A and B are shown apart, each in its own frame.
Chain A
Amino acid sequence: MNMIERILRKVVGTREYLNELYLEVRKDDFKEVCVFLSKEKHAFLRLMFASDEREVDGAFRIYSVFSVSGVDRFFIVVTPVREDDPAFSSITPDIPAAHWYEREIQDMFGLTPKGHPDPRRLIFHDSFPVHAHPLRKGWNGTETELRQWGEGTVRNVPHEFMEIEGEGICEIPVGPVHAGIIEPGHFRFSVVGETIFFLEPRLFYTHKGTEKHFESMSFLDGVRLAERVSGTSSFSHSSAYCMAVERMAGMEITEKAMAVRTLLLEIERLYNHIGDIGNMCAGTGLAVGYAKGAVIKENLMQLNERIAGNRYLRGVNCIGGITRDVLSQADDLLHTTDAITRDYKALMKLLLGTVSHVERLENAGRLSRDIAMKLGVTGITARASGINDDMRKAHPHLLFDRLDFEPHTMVRGDVFSRMMVRAAETECSLAMINELLEKSYQGELAVEAADLPAHSSALGYTESPRGSVFYWVKSDKDGKPLRVKLRSPSYCNWPAVPFAVHGNIVPDFPLCNKSFNLSYSGCDM
């Protein structure tokens, strides 16, 4: 009996919906099926999450979503976990990319990944009450519990930082409040002289309970919250969320709505990439490059406000389509992107001609392909380390299959590679914007929102400027949100940062960090 047959016999039920194939397995077989998909089929672990479905059939469920490069299909391995036996065998030893997901499931649902190499808390800090799991239905923290959590003095579950010992090793704690205008996070550097030997980040300071908050809203209102998960990826998040809800309800959006979403996703990518390229100059002290990048970005933000009414493209997406016809302002768009193309080329000429800048970027913050694969990184970070993975190609959605482009990859995985992948994608986005504006598109702005079916679920996804964004939504018996899982690209990429900065000097840390440009809020949820 070959391996595939053996695995297929483990599957007790299958369900197919659009490009999602749900494989239901028993809890004891869960690990084997996941490892088979990852090791034998070379599938990427896209996301992994749990859901409290006790009101449906009395069990929690764990889902892990895989997809194989080049095949537009998601393999979703599902297993039930009962409350009285909350342990499941951890897949992290075989699939390291699952490490944070399993710790998150442990924090949020109280299901224990048996055999996890690092079973510490992930999301909640020391003062969060023991045995409290916010995503379990019916959990509401008491006032005292929440107050003590905020005060931060009661250490319910002390966090053990990893300690590095040895001659001449010092520890530098940084944060959560940093020197720049950036988001909060705590970093512990173990250094030998100026060289970083080990870095342990402690994140989730901006945890806002977003996933539970989604459950208190209707699916229609959730768009506004999805737009506010991560500031500069507002449009990607709301597009992925809308896509998930629309797929769940079986709604087909019009060609025009698809064109506008595709266009705005590319504009979002454009302003982020140019902004990031400029920001990297702040890490090398090249003030003129930083200023020029900031001016181009500002021009794009003002364009956003003119065409979409908001500098962060908020308020355009709605369930069923879009709220305003951005395509009617094609003249303004073309005129502005022409000017921006000129400025951008001048900026790149300046940056690549400045030896002191390029010299700092090359070989700094290298992330090897092997580690990138194991940790399941996504987006720019993955492509700069030689992983050819782009949701726009791997799982074509909206109008991306009509556009002519190829994902750009580089092999070295250093800061320079990440800058050059951004540069290549910036030019690609400019071309795609022009291509999109050449044609006209049929249909209304939005279709009537259909009734949301009970007990159904669907995935939504897109490629944000930072990497793949996923939403998975499930409705309860009244068509209200039972579970909204969101997975931002930063969540996958944060664990890669300590590997990239190992062996670099502390003053290069801001530069490495800027080259990843990760969102804390998107990661912390």
Chain B
Amino acid sequence: MGESPSGGATVIKEIFKNITMKKSTIPFPDGVPVSPGESAKIVSLREKVDAVFGRSLRIRQVDAGSCNACEWECTALINPVYDIQRFGIDFVASPRHADALLVTGPVSRQMEFALKKTYLATPEPRLVIACGDCAFDGGIYKGSYAVTNGVAEVIPVDCYIPGCPPAPMRIIQGIREFMKNITGTNK
């Protein structure tokens, strides 16, 4: 729908916006066994580039309150029609195996803590892709008492893929543009 898919310039702008605006750590409430200086620190772009330098990307999908349409589009990516594995991209079962989190949904308050913990469980350096209009700013659910208005409110985001839901081709395009821009190679 609507606007053109993430052009190279926009993506780069988004990344830099994110990096310049980002706080150095994510706030965790007292009582959570997290040392803010270490596990929750924000990693430099250079390290993230290294993470995808091998041109393979392992993604852990996290539903943070989406309506399930985005999940079905991600599931469609691994069907024989789109076959995302041919690009070296695959979905994995655990955040421990992942280079990137692909988060969908406006982040419902009851998923907020679980999303933060999933983020921490992902090894450094970790990328975060926010997929869908809800993940961008809450989408149609923006302003509801039970959502946090977008993934960036909870964990730092490196890339946005717009759409409600983004079609599978759109997700592939978004991820590949993103990888191309941060590695500088046209795979």
Instruction: Answer yes or no: B114 CB below 8 A from chain A CBs.
Output: yes
Least distance between A159 CB and chain B CB atoms (Å): 12
* Cα A225 to Cα B133 with chains together (Å): 13
A153-B29, A205-B114, A230-B68 are known contacts. Are A298 and B147 too (CB-CB below 8 A)? Answer: no
Instruction: Answer yes or no: A26 CB below 8 A from chain B CBs.
Output: no
Chain B: CB-nearest residue to A141: B145
Q: Is the CB of A149 within 8 A of B109?
A: yes
* Cα A134 to Cα B76 with chains together (Å): 36
Instruction: Answer yes or no: B144 CB below 8 A from chain A CBs.
Output: yes
Instruction: Answer yes or no: B93 CB below 8 A from chain A CBs.
Output: yes
Q: Is the CB of B68 within 8 A of A212?
A: no
Q: Is the CB of B81 within 8 A of A234?
A: no
Chain A residue contacts of B111, Cβ below 8 A: 176, 184, 205-206
A231-B70, A298-B76 are known contacts. Are A206 and B65 too (CB-CB below 8 A)? Answer: yes
Which residues of A473-509 are within 8 A (CB) of B?
Answer: none
Q: Is the CB of B110 within 8 A of A177?
A: no
* Cα A150 to Cα B165 with chains together (Å): 25
Least distance between A362 CB and chain B CB atoms (Å): 26
Q: How many A-B residue pairs have CB under 8 A?
A: 146
A206-B111, A208-B108 are known contacts. Are A231 and B68 too (CB-CB below 8 A)? Answer: yes
Least distance between A15 CB and chain B CB atoms (Å): 32
Q: Is the CB of B144 within 8 A of A181?
A: no
> Which range contains the number of B residues in contact with the other chain?
35 or more
* Cα A229 to Cα B167 with chains together (Å): 18
Which residues of A23-48 are within 8 A (CB) of B?
Answer: none
Chain A: CB-nearest residue to B148: A150
* Cα A455 to Cα B106 with chains together (Å): 33
* Cα A183 to Cα B73 with chains together (Å): 13
Q: Is the CB of B148 within 8 A of A209?
A: no
Q: Of A184, A213, A232, A305, which is within 8 A of B114 by CB?
A: A184
Q: Is the CB of B69 within 8 A of A177?
A: no
Q: Is the CB of B113 within 8 A of A181?
A: no
A153-B31, A208-B144, A209-B144 are known contacts. Are A312 and B69 too (CB-CB below 8 A)? Answer: yes
Instruction: Answer yes or no: A114 CB below 8 A from chain B CBs.
Output: no
Instruction: Answer yes or no: A140 CB below 8 A from chain B CBs.
Output: yes
Q: Is the CB of B80 within 8 A of A295?
A: yes
Q: Is the CB of A177 within 8 A of B114?
A: yes
Which residues of A266-310 are within 8 A (CB) of B?
Answer: 291, 294-295, 297-298, 301, 305
* Cα A212 to Cα B75 with chains together (Å): 31
Instruction: Answer yes or no: B43 CB below 8 A from chain A CBs.
Output: no
Which residues of B61-104 are within 8 A (CB) of A?
Answer: 61-76, 79-82, 91, 93-95
* Cα A234 to Cα B72 with chains together (Å): 13
Chain A contributes a number of interface residues (CB within 8 A of B) equal to: 52
Q: Of A124, A180, A224, A231, which is within 8 A of B140 by CB?
A: A224
Least distance between A130 CB and chain B CB atoms (Å): 16
Chain B residue contacts of A184, Cβ below 8 A: 63-65, 111, 114
Least distance between A325 CB and chain B CB atoms (Å): 20
Chain A residue contacts of B113, Cβ below 8 A: 150-153
Q: Of A134, A153, A210, A231, which is within 8 A of B71 by CB?
A: A231
Binary contact track B96-139/A, C-beta < 8 Å → 1, others 0: 00000000011011111110001000000000000000000001
A179-B94, A205-B111 are known contacts. Are A298 and B79 too (CB-CB below 8 A)? Answer: yes
Instruction: Answer yes or no: A408 CB below 8 A from chain B CBs.
Output: no
Chain A residue contacts of B61, Cβ below 8 A: 181
Chain B residue contacts of A103, Cβ below 8 A: none
* Cα A229 to Cα B30 with chains together (Å): 34
Q: Is the CB of B109 within 8 A of A206?
A: no
Chain B residue contacts of A519, Cβ below 8 A: 68
Which interface residue of B94, B108, B143, B148 has the most chain A CB atoms within 10 A?
B108
Q: Is the CB of A205 within 8 A of B65?
A: yes
* Cα A204 to Cα B76 with chains together (Å): 25
Q: Is the CB of B145 within 8 A of A234?
A: no
Other 14 A-B pairs with CB < 8 A, given A294-B75, A297-B76, A301-B76: A149-B110, A181-B75, A183-B63, A184-B63, A204-B110, A209-B144, A228-B164, A229-B67, A231-B165, A295-B81, A298-B81, A311-B165, A312-B165, A521-B65
- Subset of 23 A-B contacts with CB under 8 Å: A140-B145, A150-B154, A153-B29, A179-B93, A179-B94, A181-B91, A183-B63, A184-B63, A204-B110, A206-B65, A207-B108, A208-B144, A209-B145, A210-B144, A216-B143, A225-B140, A231-B68, A231-B70, A234-B69, A294-B79, A295-B79, A297-B79, A524-B108
A residues with CB within 8 A of B: 124-125, 134, 140-141, 146, 148-153, 176-177, 179-184, 204-210, 212-213, 216, 224-225, 228-232, 234, 291, 294-295, 297-298, 301, 305, 311-312, 314, 519-521, 524
